[in-house]
Amino acid sequence: MWTQARIRELVTRQRQYFRTGKTQDIDWRIAQLRKLKQAVLSREKEIIAALAADLGRSEAEAYLSDIGPVVTEINENIRGLRRWAKPELRFSGLSCFPSTVTRVYKMPYGVSLIISPFNFPFLLSLGVLAAAIAGGNTAVLKASAKSYHSTELLKRLIADSFPDDYIALVDGGHDVADLLLAERFDKIFYTGSPKVGVHVLEAAARHLTPVTLELGGETGNWAIVRKDADLRDAARKLVFFKLLNSGQICINVNQVAVAEEVAPAFLEAVKAELKRQIGDDPIHSPEYPCLITHAAWDRCAAEAEQYRDRILVGGTGDRETRKYAPTVIWPVGIDEPIVRHELFAPLLPVVPYPDSEIDRLLDTVADREHGLALYLFTKDMAWAKRVMSTQQYGGGCVNEVCLHMMVKGAPFGGVGHSGMGAYHGEWGFREFTHPSTVLFGRTHGNLSLREHPYTGKTGEWKRKLLKLMER
């Protein structure tokens, strides 16, 4: 049982461990990353079993979505850490003469708190932990109580690999999370909903703790299918994505807007792809994942029921197994409730719009809270580039889904209600380090430009020299 006193004692021990300076050594950090990688690889079968128990994942989907990306992230940190952590050498400038040498050190924050969600319980905990380790921090992980089997395995994995005064895993519900947030951490990284993100940010503000938030986006992520799009290709990719983890993905498509000129053909393509990819009876398919809890299933079923007369395909489920069929709802108005909040379920509202009014559609999307992702399907690359370079969203794809988060060396993060900060690779290292600028002064040959007097002829030539140095 976690109590405030026990958590405070854990944080205190981690702060003492950090102050020994042990985590500063780059070789030592790399050794810890290798230890983490080995811990994942050696428990591959256990991870697959835990994901099957919690989310109904198949073996291939478990590796695709959790195990493989974690190993890739750790490998990228191992390969890049020496280069990222190397102090940057800067010329101080003539105004600092004769002290011309400045170094920028990448300093760890100290004791970090990582709060991870249920939907990718290994990727979104251990992937973030890899960045914290690379940055030279200690870490307390708060794993989700909803993904029980995965959290139990994570607890053993962490305890077997690291001392808890360096890395520790804390389990429990929201009450335990609040006990953690009451303590002073040096860095907080939270992945989850915007509502809880606000709560985390408020708690962090009491200690002025820097925070990274990876959120799903309050009004969900849009996919837009133009009339010139390859409809079969768009349907194939959107169906794959909605099936993945049964829609419980922060960057998943929440709703798709389809040009009304091609909507019938697109919907037929979606139905054909659903049959091809998951069959006629998805809720009894061993490959189709389940929702995380019965409460999540109930929310999904209740929302689908509100649109029963517009369900094109799906609309059935098995509460006992927590599986709800991928459900296409058509047509849905752009202002209806189902497209005004994040679904986190296998429901796909389809919103028709006239292709000639695409700018009006984009204005509506822009007026709402910024999504974590935006997906465009079109052959007009000039238009797509213009939209992707002017809209506000976390990241996205043109004629593709989700793969932007798998690009090595590229940042992943949100904006506004979909988050703040970015990570993956070097960007994760940056999130867990503070750049400290240090100028190395010289004791001889100092100019007196900065010293009094500032008036008379002396002040005049000082001003002239200062202006000359500004060029």
Residue 127 sits at the vertex; the CA angle it makes with 124 and 130, to the nearest 5 degrees, is: 145
The matching CATH number, chosen from 3.40.50.2000, 1.10.3210.10, 3.30.70.380, 3.40.605.10, for 4-217+420-434 is 3.40.605.10
Q: Is the per-residue pLDDT at 332 higher than 80?
A: yes
CA separation for the pair 216, 204 (Å, rounded): 20
The confidence band for 216, taking pLDDT boundaries of 50, 70 and 90, is confident
User: pLDDT above 90 covers what percent of the chain?
Assistant: 90
Q: Is the per-residue pLDDT at 271 higher than 80?
A: yes
Q: Is the per-residue pLDDT at 16 higher than 80?
A: yes
The confidence band for 394, taking pLDDT boundaries of 50, 70 and 90, is very high
The pLDDT assigned to 463 comes to 86
Reported as a single tens digit per residue, the pLDDT across 277-315 is: 999 999 999 999 999 999 999 999 999 999 999 999 999
State whether residue 390 is helix, strand or coil.
coil
CA separation for the pair 152, 51 (Å, rounded): 11
pLDDT, average across residues 37-42 = 98
pLDDT, average across residues 380-402 = 97
The confidence band for 241, taking pLDDT boundaries of 50, 70 and 90, is very high
The pLDDT assigned to 155 comes to 98
DSSP codes joined into one string, 246-310: GG--TTSEEEEEEETTTHHHHHHHHHHHHHHHH-S-GGG-TTS---SSHHHHHHHHHHHHHTGGG
Catalytic positions, please? 214, 250
The pLDDT assigned to 270 comes to 98
The confidence band for 464, taking pLDDT boundaries of 50, 70 and 90, is confident
Reported as a single tens digit per residue, the pLDDT across 43-95 is: 999 999 999 999 999 999 999 999 999 999 999 999 999 999 999 999 988 77
Structure tokens at 120: 């990718």
pLDDT, average across residues 153-158 = 98
Q: Is the per-residue pLDDT at 227 higher than 80?
A: yes
pLDDT, average across residues 323-345 = 97
Spell out the domain ranges in the chain: 4-217+420-434, 221-368+373-412, 441-469
Domain 221-368+373-412 has CATH 3.40.50.1860: no
